Structure 1
């Protein structure tokens, strides 16, 4: 089975390809790396003598993480697969990090990701299961929420230093294989590209500003 996965929820962009049981990838750490998604996919496929029709299953991160990167990657995959019967596995970025961590999963582990200046995305696991669903947590409440947790992920050190936390911290960087493994393990969750939705844990700032300015509320389906 040929599989292609996109992760633009972190700093930069990672595209993984599985073909003939081998893993290939392309990575871009530039600030506006999301703008290169389509060209990078095209390049990766051509290097391996493949096209979109040859890919059996796709995967794309839907959050939590960078709004811009996630929205661009979803829009890109929807455009590329428009009017096809291809399926896409929605990837929860915090699950992706946890599932491919090889340490002791019996312990309480918190995945932290940057949100706004005054908040963080938090997902907590213990004994291999979620005990705190992905949520947006104020910086003021973060220390209590993650107490006794091991902090896991690239951005964990940022929060440790910012809040002077005593938590054990493990900086875990995703490998290209991680995305492919997640897609394979969650193939049954695959959806049509048009049904791929952003995992919104907070409203986009533009939406919040519009609501305040016009004293109104916008339904989530309008901007997703």
Structure 2
């Protein structure tokens, strides 16, 4: 089975390809790297003598994380698969990061949201026990007590809030992205049904609501 996965939820883009038993990947850490998704995929497929039709299953991160990166990656996969009978596994980024480590410890995966908040997902004994949720900075220390912090965004909050939690460095690996897609293939949907995991309303939506004294349904902006 040939599998292709996209993660653009962080600072950059990771494209992973499984062809037979081999895994290949391309990364971009450049500013606005989400705009390179299509070209990265195209180059990787050409290098491996494949076309988009040769890919059996796709995966794409849906959040939480960078709204811009996630929107671009979803739009890219929808464009690439237009009129093709292909399915995509929606990837929860906090689960993906946890799977890159996956120990029995109590682990808190943190991701930056707004200045006064964080996305929090807590795991213990290989199970999700909290989240992912949007948590105020003021409540964060209490919620993640006794948990190990995972990844570079965990370092950001540890330094910002002077947290005493132990930090584990963990960089996302291409094979972890592919494994997630394979292990969650039963959750695959058609590209048109991919939805961003909104744990908070986009700031533009909130400002529009306040300005016009109205409430906008999530289905309108997702």
* Deviation of the 1:106 alpha carbon: 2.2
Question: Which residue of 1 is the match for residue 154 of structure 2?
Answer: 156
* TM-aligned CA deviation for residue 83 of structure 1: 1.2
Distance (whole Å) between structure 2 residues aligned to residue 44 and residue 119 of structure 1: 37
Residue in 2 that maps onto 1:206 = 204
Specify the alignment match of 2:65 in structure 1. Answer: 65
Q: Secondary structure at the match of 2:152?
A: coil
Assess if the C-alpha contact under 8 Å between 1:13 and 1:33 holds in 2: yes
Please state how far the C-alpha of 1:26 moved relative to its aligned partner.
0.6
TM-score, length-normalised on structure 1?
Answer: 0.97
Match of 1:123, SS state, is: strand
Matches within 5 A, 1:79-98: 79-98=79-98
SS at match of 1:155: helix
Residues 28-58 of structure 1, C-alpha deviations (whole Å, 9 max, x = no match): 0012000111111111101111000000000
Q: Deviations over 1:80-116 (max 9, x none)?
A: 11111100000000101112215xx222110001111
* Structure 1 residue 211, shift from structure 2 partner: 0.4
Say whether the 8 Å CA contact 1:155–1:171 is kept in structure 2.
Answer: no
Q: Distance in 1 between matches of 2:86 and 2:64?
A: 24
TM-score scaled by length of structure 2: 0.98
**Structure-1 separation of matches of 2:169 and 2:105:** 16
Please state how far the C-alpha of 1:163 moved relative to its aligned partner: 0.3
Q: Which residue of 2 aligns with 1:29?
A: 29
> Quick check: 1:76 aligned with 2:72?
no
Q: Over aligned residues, Cα RMSD in angstroms?
A: 0.8
Deviations 1:112-169 (A, max 9, x none): 0111111110000111111102011111110011011000122111100000000000
Structure 1 alignment gaps of length 5 or more: none
One of 110, 113, 116 as aligned partner of 2:111 = 113
Gaps of 5+ in 2: none
Q: Tell me which stretches of 4 or more aligned residues in structure 1 moved more than 3 Å.
A: none
Q: 1:178 aligns with which of 176, 179, 182?
A: 176
